[in-house]
Amino acid sequence: MAQYNVTGIVLRRVPYGETDNIITLYTRERGRVSAIAKGARKPISRLAGACETLTCGRYNLAGGKSLDIVTQAEVKDAFPSLRKDLSRLAGAQYLAEALNHFVVEEDAHPDLFTLLRAGLLLMERADDPQTAVRWYELRLLELAGYGPDLCSCVICGETVPRDNASQTDIYALSVANGGALCTDHANPNGYEDHAALTFDALDYLQHLNAHGLEHIRAVAKIPSPSEATAGLARMALRRTIRWRIDGDLRSAPFMDSLLSPGRPPDETSPHQSTVA
Amino acid sequence: MSTHYAKPLARLVGEFEKLPGIGPKSAQRLAFHVLRIPEDEAHALAAAIVDVRTTIKYCRVCGNFTDQDTCFICTDPRRDQSLMCIVAEARDLIAMEKTNEFRGVYHVLQGVISPMEGVGPDRLRIAELQDRLSGGIVREVILATNPTVEGDTTAMYLARNIIKPLDPSIKITRIAHGMPAGGDLDYADQATLISALEWRRELT
Ligand SMILES: [Zn+2]
Ligand SMILES: [Zn+2]
């Protein structure tokens, strides 16, 4: 049996049999890997801690018949503050689920590992966890090859916002084309593909998008925008992700109910989008 | 498979294979075992399976398994009705009962909030819990969910979003977690040690 060491984060843990867990790891070295952690649900198991969801660890895996087997595991970071804050813990679960949807088995992409780790650190520390989620979504889309161009109109190429922009301008994000739309081409009520963005919402997303993986300290300090801006940014990225994975992330409604209370639940039909 | 077994045997092997954690090998072993036991034992096994399915239901009050309307714990007058232990599953209730330490009553959620699996609070017995807590009888709630992401999510959700808004005078506690009995400090991971420190107790 070939053995190998990886550093990874547990995306998902599913109980198996009497005391085992099947874990899905996102590893720096090999991308997504699934493995069985035998006995990990016994309280005295030495695998239990490291095989818990949202734990970063070092894992020794051995090739098994169908699934690899976790032979040793050591916790590197259990992100303990997440366990004390319900909305941040809900956000962290969303980050893990989102990444899981954009990756396939055994396809190494170290930047995605870095992103997930940064996302979990941000969920622990960011001043505004909702802003941290939006930044993570932008970076995830980019690393998956779907990063939206937020600085020029996908139809005419004009720079957005325009030079003499006014606060009342309405822009949009084209969900299918993955890019911004200028005031002339944005038709938030006419096309189901257009997610409306106010001047402030566009500005907010551009600001987030300018922060790369190396800027997480700065991202942690970005203050929360107005409720209207946060809502439009959330909707635009949610719809972009829905378009890319052709479905909804299951943990989104629970996270939204905690991070954006008072907002109407995320629409399931992409047809209505109005400017708040 | 059907080509190797006589039809009734193939059917039994097939049924066993549907059980959790039972693969084809184990299913065959169990089926051959049934063939070897006396006929009356086989009848007793079959009857027990049918009996449990037709008579066992959920306790109207706490959600535990019972063959009555209300389970034996909820109807026991010696139980302290002001102390409620909330567990995820009926099997957790049984684990707590085996300690012979807890004299209060239970509430079985029949699951945990698991956002990634699409299980939200609406899938748990939370409306029933709100009904019971609004009666003013329960003074302390012990949240006895597992120290997992889902267990923590569920406990925090119940404490902050359900119990506190309903009656802020109810004392809310969570079962301690940290070092397991017989565990080795040297091998404990960061998360376990942080919990163990946090949940430490003064020695008197
Ligand atoms: Zn344009
Ligand atoms: Zn009962």
- Are the C-beta atoms of A201 and A160 separated by less than 8 Å? no
CA distance A79 to B108: 29
Looking at residue A117, its amino acid is: R
CA distance A77 to A70: 18
Give A143-180 pLDDT, tens digit per residue: 999 999 999 999 999 999 988 888 899 999 999 999 99
Domain that holds residue A53: 3-77
Banded model confidence at residue A263, pLDDT cuts 50, 70, 90: low
Query: Is A68 domain-assigned?
Result: yes
| Topology (CATH level 3) of domain B7-55 | Helicase, Ruva Protein; domain 3 (1.10.8)
In sequence order, the β-bridge partners of residue A26 are: A9, A32
Task: Tell which CATH classification among 3.40.50.970, 3.40.50.10330, 3.40.1360.10, 3.40.50.300 matches the domain B69-202.
Answer: 3.40.1360.10
Q: Does B115 touch chain A (CB under 8 A)?
A: yes
> Can you give the pLDDT at residue A187?
85
Chain B residue closest to A14 (CA)?
Answer: B117
Residues in chain A closer than 8 A to B117 (CB atoms): 250
- Are the C-beta atoms of A156 and A180 separated by less than 8 Å? no
Cβ contacts of A145 within 8 Å, gap of 6 or more? none
CA distance B86 to A244: 40
Q: Given the structure tokens 């239901």, which residue do they identify?
A: B57
Give me the tens of pLDDT residue by residue for chain B, a chain 204 residues long: 456 789 999 999 999 999 987 889 999 999 999 999 999 999 999 999 999 999 999 999 999 999 999 999 999 999 999 999 999 999 999 999 999 999 999 999 999 999 999 999 999 999 999 999 999 999 999 999 999 999 999 999 999 999 999 999 999 999 988 888 877 888 788 778 888 888 888 887
Element (H, E) at A5: strand A3-16
Cβ contacts of A225 within 8 Å, gap of 6 or more? A131, A200, A201, A204, A233
The total of other beta-carbon atoms located within 10 Å of residue A190's CB is 8
The CATH number of the domain where A107 resides is what?
Answer: 1.20.1440
| DSSP character at residue B1 | -
Tell whether omega for the bond before A161 is within 30 degrees of 0, i.e. cis: yes
The CATH number of the domain where A51 resides is what?
Answer: 2.40.50.140
CA distance A90 to A130: 11
Token pair in block for residue B63: 């959600």
Residue of A84, A89, A120, A248 to mutate when probing chain B, most B C-beta within 10 A: A89
Predicted confidence (pLDDT) at residue A268 exceeds the cutoff of 60: no
B156: distance to nearest CA of chain A, Å? 6
- Burial annotation A220-238 (CB, 10 A radius, 16+ → b, else e): bebeebeeebbbbbbbbbb
Residue of B189, B198, B199 to mutate when probing chain A, most A C-beta within 10 A: B189
ipTM comes to: 0.89
Do A70 and A90 have their domain in common?
Answer: no
Looking at residue B67, its amino acid is: D
HEC per residue, B55-91? HCEECCCCCCEECCCCCCCCCCCCCEEEEEEEECCHH
Higher pLDDT, B190 or A206: A206
Element (H, E) at A129: helix A129-143
